[in-house]
């Protein structure tokens, strides 16, 4: 079953490499084989483009779950201490409102087989395997990729190799862990913590659990895979930031936020400015009104 994924990952990566070679990105610069490094980066962009519709569904599902928070809270209060009834009522609510609490994890779950495929393909480059033509590679392509480096470090090297490999894998590993945490935190700050215990547990798993496991993974991952994961995180953060900014999540009660207090010196909205000017510039008690169109002077207090 995974052979299909290995073939797909290899095909996409090799096609990008062919393109970069065709436009002249061959050789090395800064001790880096940019044709292979960019092939990994653009493999990420290809995967993310394919999964973008699912990302949109993920956002919609999270919005639906957020809108159900007041009803979920009522059910928790009503069936406090009766977990079985609570779960039954919650499932009926999800079904009635066509909300799926598991949809929020679907894009990540679908990315995992691709991630494992990239791991397998890149790991092969450092093993000196005999079957170099496996998964659509030619021996020349295999040898070229196996010799590819980023700042003098082989893409098949790991933190455990020490030296420059440990330094570069360590730096990118920290970035990989930090961006994984920040991506989850970015979403939670916008949508808030879920009232549903199951949904809240998933949020905590995404926020703390996955970054924690990556501490161990960063030591074992080959450099090429760390590049893939870090690029995925950076792209996800940018994509998520754009979507949340363009389509901000509504409040759970479906109402608009309370208007901010008007500051006469910093009023932004036209209506607020007009009201502020009316209060600040209005005539004092006992002053004669002045019509500005007739070029009157400032009112004098009688």
Neighbour count for residue 275 (Cβ, 10 Å) = 14
In angstroms, the Cα distances linking 53 to 58, 186, 237 are: 9, 20, 16
The candidate with the shortest Cα–Cα distance to 102, out of 196, 236, 5, is 196
What span, in angstroms and rounded, lies between the C-alpha atoms of 47 and 157? 24
pLDDT of 106 above 90? no
Neighbour count for residue 216 (Cβ, 10 Å) = 9
pLDDT of 297 above 60? no
pLDDT averaged over the chain? 78
In angstroms, the Cα distances linking 27 to 24, 33, 191 are: 9, 6, 47
Q: Which two tokens stand for residue 60?
A: 């919609």
The model's pLDDT over 146-203, given as tens digits with 9 standing for 90+, comes to 899 999 999 988 999 999 999 999 999 999 999 989 988 887 777 677 666 777 887 8
Q: Which two tokens stand for residue 8?
A: 């797909």
* Torsions phi, psi for 301 (to 5 deg): -75, 130
pLDDT of 71 above 70? yes
- pTM across the whole model: 0.69
* Res. 255 pLDDT band, cuts 50 70 90: very low
pLDDT of 76 above 60? yes
* Residue 288 CB partners (closer than 8 Å, separation 6+): 299, 300, 302
* Torsions phi, psi for 46 (to 5 deg): -65, -45
Neighbour count for residue 83 (Cβ, 10 Å) = 10
pLDDT at 77: 84
Min mean pLDDT across 93-102, 212-221, 290-299 is at 290-299
Min mean pLDDT across 35-49, 72-86, 275-289 is at 275-289
pLDDT of 11 above 70? yes
* Res. 37 pLDDT band, cuts 50 70 90: very high
């Amino acid at each position: 079953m995974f052979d299909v994924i290995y073939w797909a990952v290899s095909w996409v990566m090799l096609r990008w490499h062919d393109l970069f070679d065709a436009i002249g990105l061959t050789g090395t610069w800064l001790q880096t084989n940019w044709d292979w490094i960019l092939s990994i980066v653009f493999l990420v962009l290809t995967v993310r483009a394919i999964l973008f519709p699912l990302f949109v569904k993920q956002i919609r599902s999270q919005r639906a779950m957020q809108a159900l928070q007041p009803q979920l809270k009522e059910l928790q209060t009503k069936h406090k201490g009766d977990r079985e009834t609570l779960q039954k009522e919650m499932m009926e609510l999800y079904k009635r409102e066509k909300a799926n609490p598991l949809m929020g994890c679907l894009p990540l779950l679908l990315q995992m087989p691709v991630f494992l495929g990239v791991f397998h393909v890149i790991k092969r480059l450092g093993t000196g395997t005999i079957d170099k033509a496996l998964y659509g590679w030619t021996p020349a392509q295999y040898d070229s990729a196996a010799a590819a480096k980023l700042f003098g470090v082989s893409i098949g090297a790991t933190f455990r190799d020490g030296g420059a490999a440990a330094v570069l894998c360590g730096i990118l590993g920290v970035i990989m862990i930090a961006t994984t945490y920040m991506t989850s935190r970015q979403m939670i700050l916008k949508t808030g913590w879920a009232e549903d215990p199951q949904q809240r547990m998933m949020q905590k798993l995404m926020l703390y659990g996955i970054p924690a496991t990556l501490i161990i993974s960063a030591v074992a991952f080959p450099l090429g895979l760390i590049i893939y994961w870090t690029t995925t995180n950076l792209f996800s953060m940018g994509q998520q930031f754009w979507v949340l900014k363009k389509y901000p999540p509504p409040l759970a009660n479906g109402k608009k936020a309370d208007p901010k207090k008007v500051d006469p010196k910093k009023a932004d909205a036209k209506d607020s400015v007009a009201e502020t000017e009316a209060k600040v510039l209005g005539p004092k008690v006992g002053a004669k009104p002045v019509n500005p169109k007739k070029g009157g002077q400032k009112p004098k207090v009688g």
